[in-house]
Copies of this chain bind each other. A is one copy, B any other.
């Protein structure tokens, strides 16, 4: 058989191959879109981005692929309210999301203290923690008129899919 060079394969594309998934053209495209996404797109948005790269892709396939990758642990499904599921690549270490209730922007953050606390709480109740889910809904703090405007938050601000 022909040697299949992974050289041009996206990060998620490589993960698919590692897990022995059959790499079709559309999977490669979707994997690339996901690899390049820095936000938390929903299926509609993934579909738009994928079609931009290759028009021979249907929403059904995006749904099927996103589902498959979630089962394989490559993707994680999120619910930020708004009816549609949103996705992001699985990353090392837990991180959480703060949703700006006015703009819909999503800010990611880590907090080891919180993670540890979750384990302690489950423990206290007689359980082993399998996973947990945390979302903060918040409003940007108004800048006090007398102080110099606050600089941008250190955490990355990632917007969601289009409205």
A100 at the interface (CB under 8 A from B): yes
Give the residues from 95 to 135 in chain A that come closer than 8 angstroms, CB to CB, to chain B: 98, 100-101, 107, 109, 111, 113-114, 117-118, 121-123, 125-135
Number of interface residues of A (CB under 8 A): 34
CB pair A100–B117 under 8 Å, yes or no, is no
Q: Which residues of B contact A113 (CB under 8 A)?
A: 117
CB pair A130–B101 under 8 Å, yes or no, is yes
A79 at the interface (CB under 8 A from B): yes
In the complex, the chain B residue whose C-beta lies closest to that of A129 is B138
Contact with B along A123-163 (1 / 0, CB 8 A): 10111111111111111110000000010010100000000
In the complex, the chain B residue whose C-beta lies closest to that of A117 is B114
Given contacts A132-B136, A137-B131, contact A126 B150 (CB under 8 A): yes
CB pair A126–B114 under 8 Å, yes or no, is no
CB pair A137–B141 under 8 Å, yes or no, is no
CB pair B98–A122 under 8 Å, yes or no, is yes
Q: Which residues of B contact A130 (CB under 8 A)?
A: 101, 137-139
CB pair B109–A125 under 8 Å, yes or no, is yes
In the complex, the chain B residue whose C-beta lies closest to that of A143 is B126
Partner of A135, one of B100, B127, B132: B132
Binding site for B on A (CB under 8 A): 79, 98, 100-101, 107, 109, 111, 113-114, 117-118, 121-123, 125-141, 150, 153, 155
11 CB contacts below 8 A, A to B, read: A107-B125, A109-B121, A109-B125, A114-B114, A114-B117, A123-B141, A125-B153, A126-B141, A130-B139, A132-B136, A133-B137
